Amino acid sequence: MTLSELVDVLASLASEPAEPARRSDRLSALDHGLQCAFELSTVRPDDVELQLAGLVHDIGHRFGSDDDHGRLGAACVRALLGDRVAGLVEAHVPAKRYLVTTDASYRSRLSADSVRTLALQGGPLGPEDAAAFAASPVGAAAVVLRRADDAAKVLGRVVPPLAYWLPLLRESAH
């Protein structure tokens, strides 16, 4: 995927709901990605790759199902944004599964659609998978991404527009 194609896909998300099961939700998938990237810029201001992963983490929804969108999104951005961004995009799904496994109160904070997709994505991780996730090179950052993902669902929240992120995308493009 080229930078131009990625920007086109991101722009097209302005007409897609942030949570596929909630078609009446007025928060677009683009708004969700922008909120997520902004949230990450406040908690990890020096980690541009993490912020960009937040921006693009859900683009895989354009190409496949809820249970496979992390892998598909990672495949879309790997050549352009690199292995770490792609790894974070892919890991945001198992990060939800990890948090459900390791944080007793986490599930109660999930949106209804995130609970629905959790079942499609395999539910909580088993002990061995949770340990492997925690030990992975992107595990800790993927948890930060996942928490930002959960916080990025506020209708009407004012955050920088897509144009704000374009220079960072250009600088990060391989």
Contact 16, 61 (CB under 8 A): yes
At the fourth CATH level, which superfamily is domain 3-172?
Hypothetical protein af1432 (1.10.3210.10)
C-alpha span between 71 and 35 (Å, rounded): 21
- Residue 55 CA from chain centroid, whole number: 7
| pLDDT tens, per residue, the chain with 174 residues | 899 999 988 988 888 777 655 444 578 999 999 999 999 999 999 999 999 999 999 999 888 877 788 999 999 999 999 999 999 999 998 999 999 999 989 988 888 888 888 888 888 999 999 999 999 999 999 999 999 999 999 999 999 999 999 999 999 998
As a whole number of angstroms, the longest Cα–Cα distance in the chain is: 42
Structure token pair of residue 88: 């974070």
Q: What is the three-class DSSP state of 111?
A: coil
Task: Give CA–CA dist 115/111, Å, rounded.
Answer: 6
Q: What is the pTM of this model?
A: 0.90
Please report which residue ranges of the chain form alpha helices under DSSP H: 3-12, 29-43, 48-56, 69-81, 83-102, 112-120, 127-135, 139-151, 162-172
